Structure 1
Amino acid sequence: MAIQKGDFIKLNYTGKFVDGKVFDTTDEELAKKEEIFSPRGLYGGDVIIVGAGHTIDGLDEDLEGKEAGYTGNVEIPPEKAFGPSNPKLIETVSVTKFEDRKVYPGMGVEIDGKRGVVTRVIGRRATVDFNSPLAGQVVNYEYTIEKVLEGDVEKVQGLLALYTGLREMEVEIEDGVVKIGIPTGLTFNQRWLMAKNRVATELFKYAGLKEIQLIEKLTAEPEIPMPSPEEAEAEAEEAPEAAAEENAEAEN
C-alpha cells in the first residue's frame, strides 16, 4: 500500500552534500567513519510520521506514494532543505573580537552567543557567516523505508524514541488510553519537558488516542543525561533535521 500523510514509518537515511560529504546518517558505523558520530544520537533508523514535519520538506514529500521496502535517493534544493542563506546573518567585525587569536577563513567562532564561520579576512576586519552550515546547500538523501508501523504500542514507542532518544519505553494501551512509564531522570529532563506536549498532540492527531497518562517511575538507575536548556529547546522544536545541523556545525 502506498505511503501517505499520517503514516508512521521507520526510515533509514544518509544525508550528503553535492560533493558527497556526509553530514547526517542513521548508520552508526558510517557516522563513525565520517567522524560525525554523536554519543547522544539514536542510530538504526528513525520512526517518523509522514507529513508531520519530522524531517525536511523535500524528503518528507518524496516519501509519499512509496511503499515499505523502497530504497532510493532524492536531491533537494535549499528552499526545501535547510533554507536559503540569509545575507543579514553575514557580518563584518573587528578582529579584536577574537581576543588576539589568529583569525583565518574557515575558523569557527562564537560572538555574542552566536556561532559562525569566518569567510574572509581583510586587514583588521573579518567577515563572519552566522548562517547554519546547511543553509543554502543543495543536499542529497539516500533512504530506505524499512516498514510502515501498524501497532499502536510500536507507534508510541517510536515517536517517544524520536523525541527522547530512548527506545522501547514502557507503554500500555487500552480503549484509546495510553499509559507511558516515565523512567528515572526523564521527569526533569529539559528535552522531555519541552517535547511532551508536542508528542501528545501528535499521538492524538495521528494515532487516534483519546487520553495519555504519564506515569513517573522512580528507580535506582542512573539519571538520563540532561542537555542544556538551549539544546533542549532546539531538539524539542525541531525534527530529525536538528541532528543533521548539529553534526554539520560540529565539523566547523
Structure 2
Amino acid sequence: MAIQEGDFVRLNFTGKIKETDEVFDTTSEDIAKEADILVEDKVYGPIPIIVGGNHLLKAIDNAIIGTEAGEAIHVSVNPENGFGQRNPNLIQLIPMKEFKKQGMAPVRGMKITSDNGTGKIISVDGGRVKVDFNHELAGKNLEYDVSVVEVIDEDEEKIKSMIELHYSYPNMDLDKTEIKIDGDKVSIKLDEITRFDQKSYMDVTFARFRISKDIWDNMGYEKVEFVDEFEKKVEEDPEGESEE
C-alpha cells in the first residue's frame, strides 16, 4: 500500500552535500564511521517519523508519499527547500569581553549558543570574535538516499515510536514502557532508566510535549499523560539478620 501523509514509518537515510559528496548525517553507524562523523552515544539504525510531521525536511516527506515499504529513493534538495540561503547579516562580531564575562576562551571552530541561536566561531582577532549564526548547511545543495523499512500500523507501536524518536536514549527499553489507551486518553509510563537518567528537566519536558503533540495531531487522542511512579527501596541487612 502506498505511503500517505500522516503515516508512521521507520526509515534509513544518508544525507550528503552535493558539491563535495561529504556525508553530514546518516542512520548507519558504518557509514558514520567511514565518514568520520560518528557521534558517541547516538542510537543508530532506522528512525521512526510521521510523514508530514515536520520530523524531516518537507522535500523528503513529499518524496516518500506514494512509495511503499522496502522502496529506496534518491532525493535532491536545493537550499530553498533545505536550510535556506546564507544570510550575511547572520555573521556577527562579538566583543571579546562578552566571552570573558562567561568565563569562555573562544577559539576558531567552537560552537556557541546565544539569543541569535547556535553559531560557529570562524575567527578570533584581538578584541573581536566573528561568529557565523547561519545553519551549517545553509546555501548547500543536498542529496539524500532514503529507504522506508516499514509502516507502523498498531497504535501502541506508533506511540512507542514517537517515544523512541524524541527521547533517543541509548539504554531506553521500550519493552518496559507501559502504554494504556482508554477512550481518547493515552497514559504512558516510561521504563525507569529513561525516566530518571535524562540530562535535564527541560529536556524531559520538551520531549514529552513533542510526543504528546504528535499523538494529538496524528492519532486523534485528546489527552496524553505521563505517569511517574516512585517506589520505596527497602535496604537489606548486609549480614542478612535483623536487629532484636
Q: How many residues align?
A: 215
The worse-fitting range, judged by mean Cα deviation, of 63-72 and 126-135 is 126-135
Question: Residue type matched to 1:131 in 2?
Answer: N
**Number of the residue aligned with 1:150:** 153
**Number of the residue aligned with 1:223:** none
**Number of the residue aligned with 1:180:** 188
Q: TM-score, normalised by structure 2?
A: 0.74
Residue 35 (structure 1) shift: 2.1
**Number of the residue aligned with 1:199:** 211
**Number of the residue aligned with 2:32:** 31
Residue 167 (structure 1) shift: 5.4
Measure, in 1, the Cα distance between the counterparts of 2:209 and 2:113: 31
Alignment CA distance shift 1:178-1:87 (3 Å): same
Question: Residue type matched to 2:215 in 1?
Answer: L
Alignment CA distance shift 1:219-1:67 (3 Å): farther
Question: Residue type matched to 2:211 in 1?
Answer: V
Measure, in 1, the Cα distance between the counterparts of 2:215 and 2:121: 39
Alpha-carbon displacement from aligned partner over 1:99-131 (angstroms, at most 9, x marks no partner): 9x998xxx3145784532427x99998754331
Q: Structure 2 residue aligned with 1:116, among 106, 120, 133?
A: 120
Superposition misfits of 4+ residues, deviation over 6 angstroms: 93-99, 121-126
Measure, in 2, the Cα distance between the counterparts of 1:125 and 1:116: 14
Alpha-carbon displacement from aligned partner over 1:23-43 (angstroms, at most 9, x marks no partner): 101111221222222234221
Q: TM-score, normalised by structure 1?
A: 0.72
Measure, in 2, the Cα distance between the counterparts of 1:29 and 1:136: 28
Q: 1:1-252 residue pairs with structure 2 within 5 A?
A: 1-18=1-18, 19-92=20-93, 107-109=108-110, 113=114, 115-118=119-122, 128-165=131-168, 166=172, 168=174, 169-184=177-192, 186=195, 189-218=201-230
Question: For structure 2, which runs of at least 5 residues remain unmatched after alignment?
Answer: 233-244
Measure, in 2, the Cα distance between the counterparts of 1:138 and 1:31: 20
Alignment CA distance shift 1:102-1:89 (3 Å): closer
The worse-fitting range, judged by mean Cα deviation, of 109-118 and 171-180 is 109-118
Whether the 8 Å CA contact 1:2–1:67 is kept in 2: the answer is: yes
Question: For structure 1, which runs of at least 5 residues remain unmatched after alignment?
Answer: 221-252
Residue 194 (structure 1) shift: 1.3
Measure, in 2, the Cα distance between the counterparts of 1:94 and 1:213: 46
Measure, in 1, the Cα distance between the counterparts of 2:223 and 2:95: 56
Q: SS at 1:82's partner residue?
A: coil
Alignment CA distance shift 1:109-1:65 (3 Å): same
Residue 54 (structure 1) shift: 0.6
Residue 142 (structure 1) shift: 0.5
Whether the 8 Å CA contact 1:5–1:64 is kept in 2: the answer is: yes
Residue 186 (structure 1) shift: 2.6
Measure, in 2, the Cα distance between the counterparts of 1:92 and 1:200: 40
Measure, in 2, the Cα distance between the counterparts of 1:175 and 1:112: 43
Alpha-carbon displacement from aligned partner over 1:33-79 (angstroms, at most 9, x marks no partner): 22222234221111100111011121111111111111021110112
Q: SS at 1:162's partner residue?
A: helix
Alignment CA distance shift 1:77-1:159 (3 Å): same
Alignment CA distance shift 1:219-1:108 (3 Å): farther
Alpha-carbon displacement from aligned partner over 1:177-223 (angstroms, at most 9, x marks no partner): 43211344636642220132232122122122343231114479xxx
Question: Residue type matched to 1:85 in 2?
Answer: R
Measure, in 1, the Cα distance between the counterparts of 2:61 and 2:173: 23
Aligned-pair identity in percent equals: 32
